[in-house]
Amino acid sequence: MGSGEHISHKFDEEVDEVTTSVLQMGGLVYQQIESAVTALLSCDKALAEKVIEDDVKVNTLDVQIDEMCNRIIVMRQPTATDLRLIMAIIKITNDLERMGDEAKRIARQAIDLVKRGALPDTFDCIEQMANRVKEMLNRSLDAFARKNVEDAFEVIGLDSKVDKDYENLTRQQITYMMEDPRKIHASIDLLWSARALERIGDRSCNICEYVIYLVKGKDVRHIDLKDLEQHL
């Protein structure tokens, strides 16, 4: 094997390693979201506290992946498609880290709800929203792993449903607060949790935009969904 082939082989190994770490981080963030929502729905303070405690694991992976990417850029000096891949990975890990922060925020709202008293009649709506958001995250990571533009496009299309869930829950909570002022604080906790879920959905869309950028070489940020398919 020549020196050029050796360098190429090493690069492929390093990219595989960092990609595996990204998917590992994504799996951990998914679990954080799932646990935070479970803690919220069941008013489980201990589980919520564990989510907050485990956030350091997400942050640690974020730093490790960033260091791996920087090392690849310095040592291998990738160009064109290879550089797009490294840049996409850096952006994806940044969004995953922010999703972990949102999961931690939901966990904190769960702890507050334990203190204030739960609103069980509102949990179905937020559970539906959470399930949709988790699907978006899972499918966005799968689209990244397989570099599948079609799946990435479909995930972006799901964001409007999450936004609709958030709007419905907001209207619902406003009604509850108007009818019973004693529920104001608890309703606000739920609204903050719903807002965190909505942001996680947005960041899942970001991952899909990076996949499109990686495969097609086109920056599709800030392009409306109705124009995106035609643009591609």
pLDDT of residue 99: 98
pLDDT tens track of the chain, all 232 residues?
Answer: 444 554 577 888 999 999 999 999 999 999 999 999 999 999 899 999 999 999 999 999 999 999 999 999 998 887 878 889 999 999 999 999 999 999 999 999 999 988 877 665 667 789 999 999 999 999 999 999 999 999 999 999 999 999 999 999 999 889 888 988 888 888 888 999 999 999 999 999 999 999 998 888 776 665 665 555 655 5
pLDDT of residue 6: 44
pLDDT of residue 119: 63
* Residue 150 CA neighbour count, 13 Å, CB half: 0
User: Using CA atoms in the order 112, 27, 82, 147, what is the torsion angle rounded to 10 degrees?
Assistant: -110
Domains of the chain by residue range: 3-231
Question: Locate tokens 């963030």: which residue?
Answer: 29
pLDDT of residue 162: 96
DSSP 221: T
**Cβ(28)–Cβ(86) below 8 Å:** no
| Cα separation, 162 vs 50, whole angstroms | 26
Between CA 110 and CA 116, with CA 111 as vertex, the angle to 5 degrees is: 90
Tokens representing 129?
């929203």
What is the CATH number assigned to the segment(s) 3-231? 1.20.58.220
Tokens representing 164?
């609709």
pLDDT of residue 118: 60
